[in-house]
Structure 1
């Protein structure tokens, strides 16, 4: 569902606020004194391992367990059983959480518990049924929604869960919520409403919400070269080796990655993250968007409410203005109130191209001059 941004990276390594999603989880754990972490990895695991390595630079020790078959979340925990001691906590690496969220989880230990929260779209999650302060059941993506309380996927568990996982596997069930629901029939499982930060990305446009959340707490820093007549307002982070040319206007919250260059009279508006070695041309405007590493935007371009993958090159006059858009994800249409373009990695866009609201351009596509894009452009396609 996160395509085109998981073509070569796992979801947990998608950058928001110029950090991989998983890094926010690791930081929240480390801030609470949790040092021994087990990462259950599978798809593109080398991207995770090369970034986090042994965890030492994050104040942790990381053990990697490979889930050879992607059967489900319960199966993932089962694969790690030989490394776990009672009690243990489980978190989803693709959610953005803060220290308070983890603190609530630790406070519930050693008794089994699940953190819950309210959602505007509970039908997309596991809906939680509670009795008082205890869990009754978790129903995954119910056809009929009876509550807006959902499971955050954060648990305190112990070795009893493995008996339930083994039993459910014989029935062909491999999801952890089913196993936790079964445990709740036999013993008390606390259902704790979280007051911490928990933000999830189901679809690519949700990354913009996570990015805005991340930028609220990003440390302000000014590095590199800032030429005369540059206007900087609000919380703005500028990485090492950056060059901000004269006349540029930067309105935070913003994060500009190391080695990037912002051209003369360019405008960067909230809440925008630029990765490393990004080039923004003269008179170009970027607002509420994520541009990953090595993106080049030519002069006189406008990009709003968009996510642009690494290595994308868009020449002069590229337009991705935001508005209401219909987006097709895995065969299902979604009406998004405000969206620009979603562009996968290594796409090349020639001069004077425009993308209608909700356009999805998959990785390595090529777009010729003057094209007007809409809908979904397949991977590797050439648009004339």
Structure 2
């Protein structure tokens, strides 16, 4: 069996975190989201993978290459125009045999999820799950265990059963894809609806993991899942009087200074430096070469590669892009906030700051909960930020 992974989209709702890389390459638990999908397939013996790429495809190609390092054999198909998910699958058709599975590269899944899809699907099938925000997805209407229809982002409540974007299909789907493409419909749910009108399409439920990230704050849920079972690893240099509790993975070349307190689960990439009396609290991941200043506290956050936080800073429930630099006293505390993404407001119960790559902050900067600072922004010392700062902006 072969697998198609859809990885061509930008992920515009991810705000500053897709400025230079596609959504599927955003790191959670210090690995790109897409890597978890590839691993779940390989763990089930599916090694032949067709990756449909598009936006910033070079980031995907350079990381995965031919797939050997991940136990896979990867072929790449470029979707030059992101017309839709059915169009993406059609682009992969020359590399597919009769039966194949389709997964979304920006959803975190585990081996059990993929295993249930492969083992339970004897014909066309869709994996469904329950959601507390079904109107953001395709809502599935069932007759017994059979799919009747998938309604994309309904305006009225239908049910809380949604399409996860994971499918088992065969070559017969291409007849429906081609017919609908001629009508200007290039989405896979429309093709599934047409398919379900002529043959049974099974709705599968699974106990496996499926976590989607629609918005930047959702990345924290993925990160929590990624590091929940992290291995306990002690590498690098750990000075005296350091306290480490729970499962903490310390990467090669890290230095943890005296008096630091680390409460797992935590994941520290290679080359990190944790300053004296700094505090790292659960569900935090640090990328490569992250610098945490003395007396700084970081909790439930993602700090990507080459981030530097000065002394006496506080960062909670935040996502910080690669190359961000902040001097002493950065305050990004968590709280409830209304956040605007693509002209739509969202009430987020608990969120800190969302900081885009290569942003620079002077000392004593305060960032109010839910604020978005886009990439390459410059913020002067003592500034207070509320709302959204555009890319390349200057805050005095």
State whether TM-score is above 0.5: yes
Aligned position for 1:64: 76
2:261 touches 2:277 (CA, 8 Å); kept in 1? yes
Q: Secondary structure at the match of 2:97?
A: coil
1:87 touches 1:110 (CA, 8 Å); kept in 2? no
Shift of 1:220: 1.8
Aligned position for 1:163: 175
**What does residue range 137-176 of structure 1 map to in structure 2 within 5 Å?**
137-176=149-188
For 2:201, which of 189, 195, 202 is the aligned residue? 189
Shift of 1:253: 0.6
2:269 touches 2:288 (CA, 8 Å); kept in 1? yes
For 1:39, which of 39, 45, 51 is the aligned residue? 51
Aligned position for 1:208: 220
**What does residue range 217-232 of structure 1 map to in structure 2 within 5 Å?**
217-232=229-244
**What does residue range 166-315 of structure 1 map to in structure 2 within 5 Å?**
166-315=178-327
Q: Secondary structure at the match of 1:209?
A: helix
**What does residue range 106-125 of structure 1 map to in structure 2 within 5 Å?**
106-125=118-137
Structure 1 unaligned runs (5+)? Answer: none
2:147 touches 2:201 (CA, 8 Å); kept in 1? yes
For 1:331, which of 327, 343, 355 is the aligned residue? 343
Shift of 1:332: 0.5
1:379 pairs with 2:391: yes
Q: Secondary structure at the match of 1:222?
A: coil
1:279 touches 1:294 (CA, 8 Å); kept in 2? yes
Shift of 1:110: 4.0
Cα RMSD between the aligned structures?
0.6
For 1:94, which of 85, 103, 106 is the aligned residue? 106
Structure 2 unaligned runs (5+)? Answer: 1-12
Q: Secondary structure at the match of 1:223?
A: coil
For 1:361, which of 373, 376, 381 is the aligned residue? 373
CA distance in 1, matches of 2:232, 2:105: 26
1:126 touches 1:140 (CA, 8 Å); kept in 2? yes
CA distance in 2, matches of 1:65, 1:167: 22
1:108 touches 1:156 (CA, 8 Å); kept in 2? no
Shift of 1:181: 1.1
CA distance in 2, matches of 1:110, 1:276: 43
1:236 touches 1:253 (CA, 8 Å); kept in 2? yes
After superposition, the C-alpha distances for 1:70-113 in whole angstroms (9 at most, x for unaligned) are 10101000111111101000000000000000001111344111
2:113 touches 2:210 (CA, 8 Å); kept in 1? yes
Aligned position for 1:128: 140
1:268 touches 1:286 (CA, 8 Å); kept in 2? yes
CA distance in 2, matches of 1:11, 1:218: 23
After superposition, the C-alpha distances for 1:148-198 in whole angstroms (9 at most, x for unaligned) are 000000000011111111111122111101101110110011101121000
CA distance in 2, matches of 1:270, 1:325: 22
Aligned position for 2:331: 319
1:87 touches 1:109 (CA, 8 Å); kept in 2? no
TM-score, reference length from structure 1: 0.99
CA distance in 1, matches of 2:142, 2:130: 13
Aligned position for 2:28: 16
Shift of 1:217: 2.1
After superposition, the C-alpha distances for 1:279-317 in whole angstroms (9 at most, x for unaligned) are 000000000000000000000000000000000001100
After superposition, the C-alpha distances for 1:313-340 in whole angstroms (9 at most, x for unaligned) are 0110000000011111001111101000
1:127 touches 1:145 (CA, 8 Å); kept in 2? no
The 4+ residue runs of structure 1 with deviation greater than 6 A are none
TM-score, reference length from structure 2: 0.96
2:145 touches 2:204 (CA, 8 Å); kept in 1? yes
CA distance in 1, matches of 2:91, 2:231: 38
Q: Secondary structure at the match of 2:41?
A: helix
**What does residue range 72-87 of structure 1 map to in structure 2 within 5 Å?**
72-87=84-99
1:351 pairs with 2:363: yes
